[in-house]
């Protein structure tokens, strides 16, 4: 693969299965890295802002090296298949968003027909086999589809998020567990964690 991007099989091994969402995320990461002219970064030089939390995000994490654990993956719960990649070194940023026309014609309609049956365990062995074959075909197709048919890639201006910081730990006065100071709340003059605070807030505790 170009740009030193890992093969799709590696991403499948990381994610646990091959699926269309993963293939689309893989292509989105490739599109973003290509537009920024970077290879898979070693540490925290790239930041990704993702607007959904589905299968494709595992491809983004694996290919772009932007992971939740390193703090250079920012999740915004917008339900959109859009990914912004920021190069911290140069300040450059691109937003890769699925085209509407691409989003609405997702593969063979027969796949959509079989999906509910397969996932509820009501499909026959023959139907299951057909579903797997169509899905594999669709994934292969997604890996070779021209990028411009799938996404719009736009240069954007974004504020560069600061690097992950290490916060002091404090103890929750209710459950006794450790919580980062930055997430702690104060309730009746005592330090508490968010779950304990929310119980109180909703009158459950
Ligand atoms: Zn998946
Ligand atoms: Zn607590």
What pLDDT, on the 0 to 100 scale, is given for residue 205? 43
Instruction: Identify which ligand lies nearest to the alpha carbon of 185.
Output: 2
What pLDDT, on the 0 to 100 scale, is given for residue 38? 83
Per-residue pLDDT of the chain (205 residues; tens, 9 = 90+): 456 789 999 999 999 999 999 999 999 999 999 999 887 666 568 999 999 999 999 999 999 999 998 889 999 999 999 999 999 888 999 999 999 999 887 778 899 899 999 999 999 999 999 999 999 999 999 999 999 999 999 999 998 777 767 779 999 999 999 999 989 999 999 999 999 998 765 555 4
E strand or H helix at 174: none
Q: 7 C-alpha vs ligand 1 centroid, how far in Å?
A: 16
- Domain positions in the chain: 2-155, 169-201
Q: How far apart are CA 52 and CA 96, in angstroms?
A: 13
What pLDDT, on the 0 to 100 scale, is given for residue 166? 74
Q: 49 C-alpha vs ligand 2 centroid, how far in Å?
A: 29
Q: How far apart are CA 186 and CA 203, in angstroms?
A: 16
Q: 197 C-alpha vs ligand 2 centroid, how far in Å?
A: 7
Helices assigned H by DSSP within the chain: 8-15, 20-36, 56-64, 100-104, 109-119, 125-144, 147-150, 194-201
Specify the CATH number of the domain 2-155.
3.30.1330.130
Instruction: Report the predicted TM-score, pTM, of the whole model to 2 decimal places.
Output: 0.84
Nearest residue to 3 (alpha-carbon basis) of 46, 48, 37:
37
CATH architecture designation of domain 169-201: 2-Layer Sandwich (3.30)
Q: 17 C-alpha vs ligand 1 centroid, how far in Å?
A: 6
Q: 201 C-alpha vs ligand 1 centroid, how far in Å?
A: 36
Q: 21 C-alpha vs ligand 1 centroid, how far in Å?
A: 6
Residues that place a CB less than 5 A from ion ligand 2: 172, 174-175, 193, 196
What pLDDT, on the 0 to 100 scale, is given for residue 174? 95
Number of Cβ within 10 Å of residue 187's Cβ equals 18
DSSP helix/strand/coil, 185? strand
């Amino acid at each position: 693969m170009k740009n030193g991007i890992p093969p799709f099989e590696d991403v499948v091994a990381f994610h646990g299965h091959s699926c269309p969402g993963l293939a689309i995320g893989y292509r989105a990461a490739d599109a973003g890295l290509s537009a920024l002219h970077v290879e898979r970064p070693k540490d925290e030089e790239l930041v990704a802002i993702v607007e959904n939390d589905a299968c494709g995000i595992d491809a983004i994490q694996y290919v772009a090296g932007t992971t939740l654990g390193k703090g250079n993956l920012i999740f915004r719960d917008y339900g959109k298949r859009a990914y912004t990649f920021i190069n911290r070194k140069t300040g450059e940023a691109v937003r890769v968003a699925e085209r509407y026309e691409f989003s609405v014609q997702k593969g063979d309609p027969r796949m959509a027909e079989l999906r509910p049956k397969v996932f509820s365990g009501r499909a026959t062995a023959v139907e299951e086999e057909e579903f797997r074959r169509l899905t594999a075909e669709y994934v292969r197709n997604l890996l070779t589809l021209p990028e411009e048919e799938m996404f719009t890639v736009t240069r954007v201006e974004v504020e560069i998020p600061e690097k992950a910081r290490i916060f002091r730990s404090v103890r929750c006065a209710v459950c006794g567990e450790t919580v980062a100071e930055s997430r702690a709340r104060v309730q009746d003059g005592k330090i508490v964690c968010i779950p304990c605070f929310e119980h109180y807030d909703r009158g459950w505790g």
